[in-house]
Structure 1
Amino acid sequence: MTVPGRRSSTFSRLLRHGFTDPSGAERLLDVPELSALRGDSVLLDALGATADPDLALRGLVRLAEAQPETERQTFTTTLLSAKPFRDRLLGVLGASEALADHLARHPRDWESLVTYEAVDLHPGVAEFERGLAEAVDAVTLRVAYRRCLLAIAARDVCGTIDVAETAAELADLATATLRAALAIARTAEPADAAQCRLAVIAMGKCGGHELNYVSDVDVIFVAEPVEGADEAKALQAATRLASHLMRICSETNIEGTIWPVDANLRPEGRNGPLVRTLSSHLAYYQRWAKTWEFQALLKARAVAGDPELGAQYIDAVSPLVWQAAERENFVPDVQKMRRRVVDNIPAAQIDRELKLGPGGLRDVEFAVQLLQLVHGRSDAGLHSGTTLDALAALAAGGYVGRADAAQLDEAYRFLRAMEHRIQLYRLRRTHLVPEDEPGLRRLGRSLGLRTDPVAGLNKEWKRHAAVVRRLHEKLFYRPLLDAVAQLAPGEIRLSPKAAGQRLEALGYVDPAAALRHLEALASGVSRKAAIQRTLLPVLLGWFADSADPDAGLLGFRKVSDALGKTPWYLRLLRDEGAAAENLARVLSAGRLTPDLLLRAPEAVALLGDPEGLKPRGRDHLEQEVLAAVGRAGDAEQAVAAARGVRRRELFRTAAADLIGSYGTEDNPRERDPGALVDRVGDAVTDLNAATIAGALRAAVRAEWGEELPTRFAVIGMGRFGGHELGYGSDADVLFVHEPREGGDEQEAARAANRVVAEMRRLLQLPTADPPLLIDADLRPEGKSGPMVRTLKSYEAYYRRWSLVWESQALLRAVPMAGDRELGERFIELVDPLRYPVEGLGEDAVREIRRLKARMESERLPRGADPTLHAKLGRGGLSDVEWTVQLLQMRHGWVEPGLRTTRTREALRAAHAAGLMAVEEAQTLDEAWVLATRVRNAVMLVRGRPGDTFPSDPRELAAVGRYLGYGPGRVGELVDDYRRITRRARAVVEELFYGG
């Protein structure tokens, strides 16, 4: 009986110790069998330390009640006096209802938990075999198996072994059990045993030494006849033995089951024979096996039966495993298989699925296995069937980042621990996280989460699952993987002689120099060298897919040297998206982008960010440039800072252009070359406008502080105003100012002229970057006129003296920097000149045509081929632009769509207004886009501007690659250019010259 007053005290103590049913616990503590333990605080403390104190107490009562009277005193004395035993026993009882049932049926088995010696703490297969040695049939084997399992669970829940050691011990126990079951089968069928040699190959988690508490044990059986025996009869005998072994382990009897033995990973699965000879296995794998079967064989391990035959099997299939990545579509096939697994999970279970769901254990295992199979062809250090060991080897070899590997290791251990504890409760094969609160509470406490275990468990589980999902996406779908997999084995690790031959075959002109670069990049035992050895075989192929592989490799070495001590650089190329391929394309496409990158190597990071190559808008750029100028100490430093932004953004634009031209796997090439032209034109125009704004701010600050004594604006003209700048274009401008109210006009004029002179000086300071030249020759009176005028002066000039060519030039006028309101007023001033009411008179039209003809005859460089000059040649930029501009001046006053500074936009408007047929608009647009791309390509390839195709064959080939013409198609490029521009010239003759 409970003494009055004691009840409330015990009740409170039980609550504090984690009991959820303290009243029931009080009744259980009062049973006669626990009389010796009643009131013992040590026992309550030990129960409170278990995953489920109520469950542990119920199991303890059942075990105590099951003890014979003669044994009860020994049991209770041991429980009170031996802390290791007490923690082990109660830990198991609080975590596993199924093992409590086993102890209740076999009350003497608690004695197996008493021993606490080194051999007991870390048993191997031999120790487990001794524990199973007395088993003579399926029933006694189950009892002995559960006794061994009891000891593993005790070490696990007490933290004596970690989750990986637990999984390894479970695999060793499974190995011992398979051996014992085979021995029982042989004893039962001695005639069969005498006819054949039978080996049992463990697969899956058993083969990988990472078994669960309850899991199918996947096996493959291989057999050979003994000397002199008939093969067919030997295989029949081996099949009977294998079948008997499977029944012993799989069938349910009074002691339950051990685990199902699953042989469905064998050749042909359930439809294939249960047992095959070694040669039959090999014939199947060499001719018929699917990709997933080689992935499964990665974990194959001989565990029972004839050890020599088992070793022969492993030796024979291992080379096939490490050749699997060479199969066509290997990487995509593995990726599709993983997606199919997720797709087949019932919707109601996917959020609870610990193994197969997104962010689950299979995500880790598939990612690790795929990396192993791809890189393991050339690195035997990756040949492990154990997930965590393989992950560590991948990290050590530089194939996975150390931080990523550490996070993945931690997450995998936590998820496996959850899986173990879920299965341990009732020893059932499940991977679903419980839904009920008691189950979640028990699971959380079993993992050491004692403060609010349910919330703590959900938080940790979701955190680790998110890490797994993120890293799975990063590693499993890494673009570099498929590229590495497509290399022949000899291409991954090359001898110097073989490397030289391969380089020559790939098109490297100077293989000896290329070899020196490879040696410098990849020699040594450093982690950096290891990652380079992973990257270089693939990069060499990407460089070779260009017009100048040697330049690409040299550029890569220079960038690698510049960023050699930067930890993120090689990780980026290995891990992030298409960064490595993008870098290869950029470095091997010509001189401009490598030169820019070597002056700003940190810009490599842009290549790994999906958003990194998107152009930034004018406002963003101007804000960054002006902030950099504001931080600078003097005007020269300010312009240097602005140039730094321009350098990075030019690289961003050029890289995006080159990568868009090469295309991606999903989009082999940008379908609309005009979109690339427009993107470059907008990006370079915005960038140059921001740079000019920075130079203006620097010039003003140098002498006048924050405010110039006059309002000042920069007007973009020509291609600058048309948002059609190329990489090597000058910026045509006009400068306009207006004295501030009450200011001195002469002082304002002097300030305006000084600021223009200072801007031009700053922008012309020597630099290795592509220059930004501002050209003011389109101002009134040209080179003879003042560099800067007031708005009134412009008004007076244009009213009295303006010539038709000046009105034509103003078609592209748009404010670019400085005082916005003043710039807008300038545009209002010039609109009537460029879009004259009632259009142009015939005299003006004739004058424009005369000027065009004169320009063609006088400005085309001597000796230049007029059919191949992109700017002034037949059907080139000038032809198209003058045609469009004539239409704008003649019809802009009545067609608002023509009032644009952009050539292509004006072409679309002219067609919409019925001023040209759709075929004519398309012909002019195609020629204009092609000529613009030719000029951009020349600048990208040569690093300096040009209007004609390069004469150097390699440079010409590089221009061709940029324009979409592969190796050997340069002649086709030139023919196409001539054909397209010839057609454009015919349209120009009709529309500009009047037929």
Structure 2
Amino acid sequence: MSEPWTPDRRPTLTGRLARLGFTDPGRAERLLAEAAGEGVTVSDPLLDTLGAAADPDLALGGLLRLLEALDPAGRAALAADEGVWQRLPAVLGVSSALGEHLARHPDDWRVLGGDGAIQAPAPRTFRDALLRAVGADPDDPEPAARDASQETLIALRAAYRRHLLRLAGRDLSGAADVDEVAAALADLAAAALEAGLAVARAEVPDAGLCRLAVIGMGKCGGRELNYVSDVDVIFVAEPRPGASEPDALRAATRLASALMRACSASTPEGSLWEVDAALRPEGKAGPLVRTLASHRAYYERWAKTWEFQALLKARPVAGDAELGREYADMVGPLVWKAAAGEDFVEDVQAMRRRVEAHLHRQTQESERELKLGPGGLRDIEFAVQLLQLVHGRADDTLRSPNTLEALASLSQGGYVGRDDAAGLASAYRFLRRVEHLIQLHRLRRTHTVPDDDHDLRRLGRALGLRTDPVGEFTALWRRHARGVRTIHEKLFYRPLLRAVARLPEEETRLTPEAARTRLTALGFNDPAGALRHIEALTSGVSRRAAIQRTLLPVMLGWFAAAPDPDAGLLGFRQVSDALGTTPWYLRLLRDEVTVAERMARLLATSRYATDLLLRAPEAVALLGSDDGLAPRSFEALMSEALAAVRRREDDDKAAHESAEDAVAAVRGLRRRELFRTSVADLLGLTDVRTVGEALTDIATVTIEAALQAAVNKIEMERRGPLPTRVAVVAMGRFGGHELGYGSDADVMFVHDPLPGADERDAQTAAHSVAEEMRRLLARPAPDPPLQIDPNLRPEGKAGPLVRTLASYAAYYARWSAPWESQALLRADPIIGDPELGHRFRALIDPVRWPRDGIDDKALREIRRLKARMESERLPRGVERRLHTKLGPGGLSDVEWVAQLLQLQHAHEVAGLRTTRTLAALDAAVRAGLLDETDGEVLSSAWQLATRIRGTVMLVRGRASDLLPTDHHKERSAVTQVLGYPGTGDLLEDYRRHARRARAVVDRVFYGVTD
């Protein structure tokens, strides 16, 4: 402490104090001058040390009061202790209350000095010191204070503050982190309760009639206490031998009351804190003390959800240690069974919402609340506790009463993502640190961030923020709060919690014995095989296995609710194996229960969707939301597909490799989009028209991309541009935008030589493009095949694969048959050269929509063709009425009605000039060509038959036009997907629709009258 302050240094001191961080350098100068006049000096190095404090002005005032209270020998000892200056200014710069304590007890500065000040004391140290402070023998099994006088209470408070001072010194100098500080505060509180009980024994004459244990609850029980907090407790008592239970309980109640007064009574040294016993059974309305049996009876019969949540932190902290252990052993199993109660998760969530609503009503400062406000400590604690209670039934590593320890275990066990756990832990430590700093200032119980800039500056500097303490602190706090709130919403309201909580306890532990029995009960046909899958997924200590152990008990129930649980579990294992250690996969299933549930349902229902998912397992990410399953726009799909072709075109690979790579990439896109569409269909998120349009769009962009790749290749081989334009005409269901999952793509190829081009060369080039496109799409690949069928072209298989536009014109002018006009009703030139497609459409429109309709001869021919098709094309041995395509009232019946009306009237009714069946029926009804009721009958029958065909394909993975009647699983799956109670209901509904539709067909198409 060299170079003391003297008056002749005044001109330079003001600026120096300001630079050091003093906010009122003038006042600081006056204090230094007054102290110097009384023989108390402060050296330049010490001023520098004070300037590093959170609040230099506060630190200087506290130091001067301490120096004034010390005698010369004490000041000399203080000046000589180098260690104290590492901690004393830090304490004085944060806590005015501890500065006042030092002014009253100046010799207590010694707990901040020397090497021992940075060592963490053992919990026993606190207990022994506080017992000695009240005159009790720490070695006595039931220590009693010398008396219950105010002097004894004052001694207890002074000793408590002394240890609090030492702990604050370690805290504020960085020698102890927030976890250690909170644990030490809980241990110090437990020691104070023990000392308070010793004082109570001196006050209660019949204390010997009972054994009394004090159970710490809340933050005290979790060893995460604040500097200033109510200490939550529960009292449990038992009579001693020879004492009656009523007498023992009366004595124990007096002891407990006296203990509470010993801690909370006001004295010249203040009080310690309130001892709050409101968490006891029945709360404040219930008896203060109960026996062990009384506690058990209450918890087994009457306890509410929140009481079990509170008991998670129950820990014996004072009094009879053996009785405390008995209490903990009794409540532990009850706590970990609580989550199985009806609506447990919902109750906890509702309670949290009520707390938030109450806070918002009670205070306008809810946004500044560190504890209860949005993104505050309670958000973290409630989320952690709920996860503990739900998953802790089966995993005893989660049963710590300490928030940070439990959070670490939840992360290690895979119940919480690593990033989420790290974010919550970081925010928790920050918020607790801020809470400690706020409470240390005046040693008052508060959780509200101040709004005064001076207080905020002290907080920011105490946290090491120096450039802009107020702004930096506020931004850091808000960032942590936002992060906590986001993670809290995700974890606390995670639907998987409800599913896990509702499982019987034995199902949360996938032991082989219990699992085999349960699998049989759930409907697995091969429980041994299912058990092997489960063991493969859950064995080991990896994080992946831990998450699977959480997911599988719930997913087994979802598999069992679907038609084929065995297939579902097998598919789940295959997808999980395929994705391996992909970090997002299991995290997605755990955090987004919709994905897990939908995945289980799909895998146990649809072979088609399962195959797609196995070939592209990353598509599981699409299951998270309904929006993600909506069909993408045609423009977006086309842009992505053509971009893949252009990327490969720019590669330096050989022409054929570039084309094959391009089409392989586009087929990957097709695979993903087929999965998206099939899932939406299976989940009932779409309708028949949307599915048909989506599947048509997917096929269109795939063929367009393949055509472009083929053109690029042929041009590279020819070393020049094509001598002709090429277009692909969609036909049949493809042209009608009504493709199904198993439909071929019926097409015709048309080309038009460029001016001056050699026609033979143009024909050769166009034919090469068509063949190359077909080859590229026919190459083996891990996706459902897209068969290109060109057999609807003029002359069928006997005709050329590709024709010029002029050749088509000549053919249709001379040779076109009625069936070809009918086939052209679905022709849509949507691929390739747009201008050529437009010209082709103009060419065929008069053929398919004849100006005068059709004559009686053509009508008879069409009817004859229809009847012949019904008799010849229907497979032998099948039940005609169950054939959704060719059977009576099936797809073909409805489509021929629509097409006949188009041939007859499209020249005069613009709405009939469409390739879509349902649009044509709608237009016929609007034009009065078809009765509205008849139109509805035909439309409903067509949509039901289409849905059945699509669902059969989704379930079996193979196309079929027959309603399933023989294979139980397939029949059940189709029935379930379509939403019917039973197979009989589906058959009856289809037959009713088909019967009514056939009646309309007979009347409208065949002209049959009653």
User: Secondary structure in 2 aligned to 1:304?
Assistant: strand
Q: 1:876 to 1:566 in 2, by over 3 A?
A: same
Check if 1:293 corresponds to 2:307: yes
- Which runs of structure 2 are paired with 1:309-328 in the superposition (5 Å)? 309-328=323-342
Residues 938 and 959 of structure 1 are in contact (CA less than 8 Å); yes or no, is this contact kept in structure 2?
yes
Return the alpha-carbon distance in structure 2 between the equivalents of residues 439 and 569 of structure 1: 46
- Which runs of structure 2 are paired with 1:215-254 in the superposition (5 Å)? 215-254=229-268
Q: 1:835 to 1:353 in 2, by over 3 A?
A: farther
Check if 1:783 corresponds to 2:786: no
Identify the residue that residue 98 of structure 1 maps to in structure 2. 97
Q: Structure 1, unaligned stretches of length 5 or more?
A: 663-668
Identify the residue that residue 646 of structure 1 maps to in structure 2. 667
Return the alpha-carbon distance in structure 1 between the equivalents of residues 314 and 56 of structure 2: 41
Q: 1:490 to 1:363 in 2, by over 3 A?
A: same
RMSD: 2.7
User: Secondary structure in 2 aligned to 1:442?
Assistant: helix
Shift of 1:704: 0.5
1:733 is aligned, of 735, 744, 747, to: 747
Check if 1:988 corresponds to 2:1001: yes
Identify the residue that residue 665 of structure 1 maps to in structure 2. none
Q: TM-score, normalised by structure 1?
A: 0.93
Return the alpha-carbon distance in structure 1 between the equivalents of residues 111 and 313 of structure 2: 32
Return the alpha-carbon distance in structure 2 between the equivalents of residues 680 and 642 of structure 1: 23
1:148 is aligned, of 160, 163, 179, to: 163
Q: Which amino acid aligns with 2:47?
A: L
Residues 182 and 245 of structure 1 are in contact (CA less than 8 Å); yes or no, is this contact kept in structure 2?
yes
1:756 is aligned, of 750, 766, 770, to: 770
Return the alpha-carbon distance in structure 2 between the equivalents of residues 36 and 641 of structure 1: 90
Check if 1:7 corresponds to 2:10: yes
Q: 1:801 to 1:251 in 2, by over 3 A?
A: farther
Q: Which amino acid aligns with 2:997?
A: A
- Which runs of structure 2 are paired with 1:382-393 in the superposition (5 Å)? 382-393=398-409
Identify the residue that residue 986 of structure 2 maps to in structure 1. 973
Return the alpha-carbon distance in structure 2 between the equivalents of residues 111 and 89 of structure 1: 10
Q: Which amino acid aligns with 1:246?
A: M
Q: TM-score, normalised by structure 2?
A: 0.91
Return the alpha-carbon distance in structure 2 between the equivalents of residues 456 and 515 of structure 1: 55
Return the alpha-carbon distance in structure 2 between the equivalents of residues 472 and 941 of structure 1: 39
- Which runs of structure 2 are paired with 1:118-517 in the superposition (5 Å)? 120-131=119-130, 133-135=132-134, 136=148, 137-191=152-206, 193-346=207-360, 348-517=364-533
Identify the residue that residue 142 of structure 2 maps to in structure 1. none
Identify the residue that residue 769 of structure 1 maps to in structure 2. 783
Residues 828 and 841 of structure 2 are in contact (CA less than 8 Å); yes or no, is this contact kept in structure 1?
yes
Q: 1:652 to 1:291 in 2, by over 3 A?
A: farther
User: Secondary structure in 1 aligned to 2:629?
Assistant: coil
Identify the residue that residue 745 of structure 1 maps to in structure 2. 759
Q: 1:655 to 1:703 in 2, by over 3 A?
A: closer
Shift of 1:800: 4.3
User: Secondary structure in 2 aligned to 1:31?
Assistant: helix
Q: 1:99 to 1:756 in 2, by over 3 A?
A: same
User: Secondary structure in 1 aligned to 2:590?
Assistant: helix
Shift of 1:207: 0.9
Shift of 1:4: 8.0
Identify the residue that residue 525 of structure 1 maps to in structure 2. 541
2:48 is aligned, of 30, 45, 69, to: 45
Shift of 1:209: 0.8
Identify the residue that residue 23 of structure 2 maps to in structure 1. 20
Q: 1:716 to 1:6 in 2, by over 3 A?
A: farther
Return the alpha-carbon distance in structure 2 between the equivalents of residues 583 and 879 of structure 1: 37
Number of residue pairs matched by the alignment:
978
Check if 1:574 corresponds to 2:590: yes
- Which runs of structure 2 are paired with 1:618-629 in the superposition (5 Å)? 618-629=634-645
Q: 1:704 to 1:648 in 2, by over 3 A?
A: closer
Identify the residue that residue 957 of structure 1 maps to in structure 2. 972
After TM superposition, the structure 1 stretch with the greater mean CA deviation from structure 2, 321-330 or 93-102, is 93-102
Residues 302 and 310 of structure 1 are in contact (CA less than 8 Å); yes or no, is this contact kept in structure 2?
yes
Residues 203 and 220 of structure 1 are in contact (CA less than 8 Å); yes or no, is this contact kept in structure 2?
yes
Return the alpha-carbon distance in structure 2 between the equivalents of residues 353 and 831 of structure 1: 73
Identify the residue that residue 666 of structure 1 maps to in structure 2. none
Q: Which amino acid aligns with 1:959?
A: V
Q: 1:703 to 1:646 in 2, by over 3 A?
A: closer
Return the alpha-carbon distance in structure 1 between the equivalents of residues 350 and 1002 of structure 2: 57
Return the alpha-carbon distance in structure 2 between the equivalents of residues 309 and 911 of structure 1: 85
Residues 37 and 80 of structure 1 are in contact (CA less than 8 Å); yes or no, is this contact kept in structure 2?
no
Identify the residue that residue 691 of structure 1 maps to in structure 2. 702
Return the alpha-carbon distance in structure 1 between the equivalents of residues 13 and 176 of structure 2: 34
Shift of 1:648: 5.1
Residues 585 and 659 of structure 1 are in contact (CA less than 8 Å); yes or no, is this contact kept in structure 2?
no
Identify the residue that residue 54 of structure 1 maps to in structure 2. 57
Q: Which amino acid aligns with 1:732?
A: D
Residues 6 and 33 of structure 2 are in contact (CA less than 8 Å); yes or no, is this contact kept in structure 1?
no
Q: Which amino acid aligns with 2:892?
A: S
Q: 1:258 to 1:709 in 2, by over 3 A?
A: farther
Return the alpha-carbon distance in structure 1 between the equivalents of residues 737 and 644 of structure 2: 24
Return the alpha-carbon distance in structure 2 between the equivalents of residues 34 and 580 of structure 1: 77
Shift of 1:646: 3.3
Shift of 1:509: 1.3
- Which runs of structure 2 are paired with 1:894-933 in the superposition (5 Å)? 894-916=908-930, 919-933=933-947
Shift of 1:375: 1.3
Q: 1:650 to 1:615 in 2, by over 3 A?
A: farther
Identify the residue that residue 632 of structure 2 maps to in structure 1. 616
User: Secondary structure in 2 aligned to 1:258?
Assistant: coil
- Which runs of structure 2 are paired with 1:836-855 in the superposition (5 Å)? 836-837=850-851, 839-855=853-869
Q: Structure 2, unaligned stretches of length 5 or more?
A: 135-147
Identify the residue that residue 82 of structure 2 maps to in structure 1. 83
Q: Which amino acid aligns with 2:163?
A: C
Q: Which amino acid aligns with 2:387?
A: L
Q: 1:589 to 1:654 in 2, by over 3 A?
A: farther
Check if 1:678 corresponds to 2:689: yes
Residues 233 and 277 of structure 2 are in contact (CA less than 8 Å); yes or no, is this contact kept in structure 1?
yes
After TM superposition, the structure 1 stretch with the greater mean CA deviation from structure 2, 163-172 or 407-416, is 407-416
Residues 728 and 749 of structure 2 are in contact (CA less than 8 Å); yes or no, is this contact kept in structure 1?
yes
Shift of 1:683: 2.4
Return the alpha-carbon distance in structure 2 between the equivalents of residues 991 and 653 of structure 1: 37
Q: Which amino acid aligns with 1:992?
A: F
After TM superposition, the structure 1 stretch with the greater mean CA deviation from structure 2, 638-647 or 936-945, is 638-647
Return the alpha-carbon distance in structure 2 between the equivalents of residues 899 and 190 of structure 1: 104
Identify the residue that residue 808 of structure 1 maps to in structure 2. 822
Residues 822 and 903 of structure 2 are in contact (CA less than 8 Å); yes or no, is this contact kept in structure 1?
yes
User: Secondary structure in 2 aligned to 1:559?
Assistant: helix
Q: Which amino acid aligns with 1:310?
A: G
User: Secondary structure in 2 aligned to 1:140?
Assistant: helix
User: Secondary structure in 1 aligned to 2:793?
Assistant: coil
Q: Which amino acid aligns with 2:310?
A: A
Return the alpha-carbon distance in structure 2 between the equivalents of residues 484 and 324 of structure 1: 13
Q: 1:132 to 1:102 in 2, by over 3 A?
A: farther
Shift of 1:169: 0.9
Residues 112 and 166 of structure 2 are in contact (CA less than 8 Å); yes or no, is this contact kept in structure 1?
yes
Shift of 1:838: 6.0
User: Secondary structure in 1 aligned to 2:725?
Assistant: strand
Shift of 1:33: 5.8
Identify the residue that residue 600 of structure 2 maps to in structure 1. 584
